[in-house]
Amino acid sequence: MAREVCGRCERPISVCICNGLRSYSAPVQIVILQTARERKHAVNTGRIVNLGISNSLILTDEDFSEQAELAALLDKWKGKTWLLYPGDDAVTPKEMVRHSGNYGEGLLVVLDATWRKSKRMLYLSPRLTELPRVALPESSLSSYRIRKAPGPGYLSTVEAVAACLGQAGHPAEGCRQMIQSFERMIEFQVKAMGEETYQRNYTS
């Protein structure tokens, strides 16, 4: 018999991650560019962002250079669009919202992929490469216990978005709830793989 699935987070009820996760409006519109591999991944943190942010959208593709929906968003928010990605001239989240105008205006583009894949996404899309960037402190540490980060500053999608919005004036409770859902998802994954496997592969 098929397991009952949550209609919101699309996970089995026994491992639902959206219970208690309310949707809040962010200081800027958010579009998450997600690869097909990330969409199918059991630990899909971009999905948590989409559930927790009412003015967010997920677009799935491998090459966004000619993605019509993205192009329309970039045209709509021309001059008020930022890419959440490190860069020498990157601004802070506070500077981003200061230049975006009223609450809810402007667009933040988020790449939901591995770091290697995100570089390829930028390489394939000149419009993304040319966007001004907003970045977080390089010292930021991830709690993504079931993926080995290359070092400080490498955050999961939901961690990066929550940290960015937390500095941009987003309701603190909204950021907290997204991170709680993320931590709950990690706990489910650790339990599924078994403590021995987790200790062997992720704590050494």
* pTM for this model (two decimals): 0.88
Looking at the predicted structure, is the pLDDT value of residue 25 above 60?
yes
Helix (H) or strand (E) holding 59: strand 56-60
Q: pLDDT at position 171, please?
A: 96
The answer to whether 142 and 154 are in contact (CB under 8 A) is yes
Of 3 and 13, more confident: 13
Looking at the predicted structure, is the pLDDT value of residue 73 above 90?
yes
Is residue 140 very low, low, confident or very high in pLDDT (cuts 50, 70, 90)? low
Q: Does domain 25-202 have CATH number 3.40.1280?
A: yes
Looking at the predicted structure, is the pLDDT value of residue 99 above 90?
yes
Q: pLDDT at position 67, please?
A: 92
Q: Name which of 183, 166, 156 is nearest 24 in CA terms.
A: 166
Q: What percent of the chain is predicted at pLDDT more than 70?
A: 82
Q: pLDDT at position 146, please?
A: 45
Count of CB atoms within 10 A of residue 164's CB? 27
Average pLDDT over residues 133-151: 63
Query: Considering the chain, what is the average pLDDT of its residues?
Result: 86
Q: For residue 3, report the phi and psi dihedrals to the nearest 5 degrees.
A: -75, 145
Average pLDDT over residues 15-27: 94
Q: pLDDT at position 152, please?
A: 45
Average pLDDT over residues 133-153: 61
